[in-house]
Structure 1
Amino acid sequence: MSLGPYTTFIVTSYLVVLVVVVLLIAWIIIDYRRQKQRLSELESKGMSRRSGSSTMNKT
């Protein structure tokens, strides 16, 4: 497959997009783990979530 004179630009663009997507996925995973750890620390100190199931079941 020949991409013509724009081969370098196209391949570089795809690589940059791939790196950005991988970095975003890694950032989301790291932030999720951090938030989950912080939430468990707060719950171990006795704080509870305001949006617990007890408030959702009120009718």
Structure 2
Amino acid sequence: MREALDHWDYVIAAYAIGLGALAILIAWSWQAMRRAEKRRDEVKRK
């Protein structure tokens, strides 16, 4: 058991959460873009 608090555990956890959230946001935005492009193409065909 450690006596002193180690801040690196929290720093690593914060980066992991931040990068995970960023990956989810990028995937969600990419899917939204694909749906919008598909709707645009359908409107152009009419």
Task: Answer whether TM exceeds 0.5 for this pair.
Answer: yes
Superposed CA RMSD: 1.2
TM-superposed CA distance for 1:18, in Å, is: 0.3
User: Which runs of at least 4 in structure 1 moved beyond 3 Å after TM superposition?
Assistant: none
User: Which is bigger in relative contact order (C-alpha 8 A, separation at least 6)?
Assistant: 1
TM-score with structure 1 length normalisation? 0.64
Matched residue, 2:14 = 13
Structure 1, unmatched stretches of 5+, are: 46-59
User: Which entry has the higher C-alpha Rg, 1 or 2?
Assistant: 1
Equivalent in the alignment of 1:35: 36
Aligned-pair identity (%): 26
So what's the TM-score if we normalise by structure 2? 0.79
The alignment of Structure 1 onto Structure 2 pairs a total of residues equal to 42
